[in-house]
């Protein structure tokens, strides 16, 4: 127990010592904290004072600047007021001067009027004196003088008129020849006559057998689908595609080239490639038309007309490519119109569109003049363009420089030696008439004139025509060809009924 109490006392004394030490440390820390707080307050007051001083300085600067600006504005305002007063004073002075001049002019006008009245009175008095002295009126005297002058000058006038008429005719003829010479020498376009046959190169002669196919199945499918005549003869590494229709022949050549590249020559593949190539050609003729108009610098043409311009590339007239002819006419008309003081761009527009109806004659009845004028009216082409379409075939008179330029350019383009061939045009008309006779019959889907027009292949709708009706249809077409078409030899009419059933396995 004694030891316990002794230890307890010792522990208590130690605790008191530690407590005293802790309190002493706390006081020291508290003193330091108060010191730091006071220092922070002093520092904050110094910063606040510094900021106040800076604010006052900036405020003073701004006040001085404001006063300076206000002083400058006041000076400008004063100067403007002075200027305004001076201008107002000048305007008032000028107005007074104008009013004084106006009064002066009115006074002078009145004086002039009085002088004119006096002059007229004196003229009348003089006429009366002359009439009394001469014993005739003024009108009688004038008639006598004019009659005498007319009799004396009649012969001289006739001679002068005849002289100037001859000079005008000679000058007009020389000027017209000069303009035409200028136009033809300044334009030198390429020309290539259209042919009726295209040659397709083959990698080897063995491919001819694949083109013909088993029992001629492939070549029959090609001719029926493409509407052309395919000639396979002894010519090495080549076959020929014959058709009067340039568009159809171009598609056929492209289809054959792709079949040769693909290697698979069979009826189903032929039809697939034909459909694809036909779609591409529709896009190609649109692009061709856009390029032509871009080269000519013509804008604002309706897309349907642009497409027809591109289609002219696959149309021939008397052996002359229609697009090439239209381009030649456009360039020549532009040059002629410029020489004559007209609008060359409008003349080019009329020139490129003057034969636009030829792109429609394969599909619609009527002359290319009426078809072209109708399509241009529908899409709001200028009156000069429509007049040029009518005037270049003498349907009406040319009413503008641009129309007359197109007529002259059309004659120049067509009259060039070798530009056109009448025999080819007659052949093309004959085979076109044969196809139109066949397609006009009820139940006919397509008709192709092949073998240089000596055969016509008619594709009939099997749902509308049976076998017996197909026989009657061939006789009817042959009889109408005999009545309407002039041709040498015989024309064979093939009527083909084809029924296709298509279903999909899903």
Question: Could you report the per-residue pLDDT of 13-39, keeping only the tens digit for each?
Answer: 777 778 888 888 888 888 888 888 888
Q: Which of 248, 269, 245 is nearest to 258 (CA)?
A: 269
Burial of 206 (0-12, 13-18, 19+ CB in 10 A): exposed
Are the CB atoms for 382 and 349 separated by under 8 Å? yes
Q: What is the structure's pLDDT at 417? A: 47
Task: Give the integer Cα–Cα distance in Å for 251 and 198.
Answer: 11
The full set of domain ranges for the chain reads: 38-132, 136-186, 188-271, 297-420, 426-498
Q: Is the pLDDT assigned to residue 198 strictly greater than 60?
A: yes
Are the CB atoms for 402 and 438 separated by under 8 Å? no
Q: What is the structure's pLDDT at 218? A: 84
Q: Which of the following CATH numbers is that of domain 188-271: 3.40.50.300, 1.10.1040.10, 3.30.1370.10, 3.10.20.520?
A: 3.30.1370.10
Q: What is the structure's pLDDT at 134? A: 61
Task: Give the integer Cα–Cα distance in Å for 75 and 81.
Answer: 10
Share of the chain above pLDDT 90, in %: 4
Which residues have C-beta within 8 Å of that of residue 63, sequence separation ≥ 6?
none
- Number of Cβ atoms within 10 Å of the Cβ of 387: 23
Residue 504: phi and psi, rounded to 5, are -110, 135
Angle at 434 between CA 429 and CA 435, to 5 degrees: 100
453: left (phi over 0), alpha (psi -120 to 50) or beta: left
Torsion, CA 399, CA 400, CA 406, CA 411, rounded to 10: 50
3-state secondary structure 433-450: HHHHHHHCCCCEEEEEEE
Q: Is the pLDDT assigned to residue 422 strictly greater than 50?
A: no
Give per-residue pLDDT as tens, 411-420.
Answer: 877 765 444 5
Check residues 275 and 505 and name the one with the higher pLDDT. 275
* Candidate from 32-41, 68-77, 311-320, 348-357 with smallest mean pLDDT: 311-320
Q: Which fold, 426-498?
A: Alpha-Beta Plaits (3.30.70)
How many Cα atoms within 13 Å fall on the side-chain side of residue 375? 26
Strands 455-461 and 492-498: parallel
Are the CB atoms for 223 and 230 separated by under 8 Å? yes
Mean pLDDT of 120-142: 72
**Hey, which of 161-170, 251-260, 492-501 has the most confident mean pLDDT?**
251-260
Are the CB atoms for 430 and 326 separated by under 8 Å? no
Burial of 290 (0-12, 13-18, 19+ CB in 10 A): middle
Pull the structure tokens for residue 106: 């009115």
Are the CB atoms for 342 and 400 separated by under 8 Å? yes
Model confidence at 171, pLDDT cuts 50, 70, 90, reads: low
Check residues 345 and 211 and name the one with the higher pLDDT. 345
Give per-residue pLDDT as tens, 368-404.
Answer: 888 888 999 999 899 999 999 998 888 888 888 888 8
Residue 451: phi and psi, rounded to 5, are 55, 50
Write down the CATH number for the domain with range 297-420.
1.10.3210.10
Q: What is the structure's pLDDT at 167? A: 67
- Number of Cβ atoms within 10 Å of the Cβ of 473: 21
* DSSP character at residue 234: S
Task: Give the integer Cα–Cα distance in Å for 306 and 308.
Answer: 5
Q: Which of 304, 309, 351 is nearest to 330 (CA)?
A: 351
pTM for the structure as a whole: 0.47
- Number of Cβ atoms within 10 Å of the Cβ of 379: 11
Mean pLDDT of 176-198: 54
Q: What is the structure's pLDDT at 190? A: 47
């Amino acid at each position: 127990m004694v030891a316990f109490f002794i230890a307890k006392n010792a522990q208590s004394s130690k605790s008191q010592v530690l407590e005293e030490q802790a309190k002493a440390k706390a006081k020291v820390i508290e003193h330091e904290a108060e010191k730091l707080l006071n220092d922070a307050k002093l520092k904050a007051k110094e910063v606040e004072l510094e900021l106040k001083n800076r604010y006052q300085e900036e405020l003073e600067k701004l006040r001085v600047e404001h006063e300076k600006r206000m002083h400058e504005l006041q000076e400008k305002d004063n100067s403007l007021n002075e200027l305004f007063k001076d201008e107002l004073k000048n305007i008032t002075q000028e107005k007074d001067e104008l009013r004084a001049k106006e009064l002066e002019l009115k006074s002078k006008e009145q004086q002039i009027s009085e002088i004119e009245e006096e002059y007229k009175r004196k003229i009348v008095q003089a006429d009366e004196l002359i009439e009394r002295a001469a014993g005739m009126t003024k009108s009688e005297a004038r008639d006598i003088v004019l009659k005498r002058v007319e009799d004396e000058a009649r012969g001289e006038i006739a001679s002068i008129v005849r002289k100037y008429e001859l000079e005008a005719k000679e000058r007009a003829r020389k000027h017209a020849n000069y303009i035409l010479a200028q136009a033809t020498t300044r334009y030198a376009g390429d020309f290539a006559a259209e042919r009726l046959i295209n040659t397709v190169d083959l990698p080897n002669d063995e491919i001819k057998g694949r083109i013909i196919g088993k029992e001629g199945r492939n070549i029959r499918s090609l001719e029926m689908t493409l509407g052309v005549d395919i000639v396979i003869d002894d010519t090495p590494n080549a076959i020929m595609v014959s058709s009067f229709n340039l568009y159809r022949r171009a598609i056929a050549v492209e289809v054959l080239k792709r079949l040769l590249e693909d290697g698979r020559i069979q009826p189903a593949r032929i039809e697939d490639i034909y459909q694809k190539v036909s779609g591409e050609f529709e896009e190609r003729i649109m692009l061709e038309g856009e390029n032509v108009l871009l080269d000519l610098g013509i804008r604002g043409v309706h897309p349907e007309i642009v497409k027809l311009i591109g289609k002219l590339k696959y149309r021939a007239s008397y052996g002359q490519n229609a697009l090439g002819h239209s381009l030649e006419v456009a360039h020549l008309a532009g040059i002629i119109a410029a020489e004559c003081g007209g609008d060359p761009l409008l003349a080019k527009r009329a020139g490129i569109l003057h034969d636009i109806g030829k792109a429609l004659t394969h599909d619609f009845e009527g002359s290319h003049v009426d078809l072209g004028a109708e399509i241009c009216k529908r899409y709001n082409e200028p009156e000069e363009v429509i007049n040029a379409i009518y005037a270049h075939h003498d349907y009406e008179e040319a009413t503008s420089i641009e129309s007359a330029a197109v007529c002259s350019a059309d004659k120049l383009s067509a009259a060039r030696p070798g530009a056109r061939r009448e025999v080819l045009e007659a052949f093309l008309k004959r085979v076109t008439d044969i196809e139109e006779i066949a397609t006009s019959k009820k139940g006919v889907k397509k008709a192709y004139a092949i073998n240089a027009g000596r055969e016509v292949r008619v594709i009939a709708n099997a749902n509308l025509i049976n076998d017996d009706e197909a026989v009657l249809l061939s006789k009817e077409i042959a009889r109408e060809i005999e009545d309407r078409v002039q041709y040498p030899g015989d024309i064979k009419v093939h009527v083909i009924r084809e029924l296709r059933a298509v279903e999909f396995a899903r």
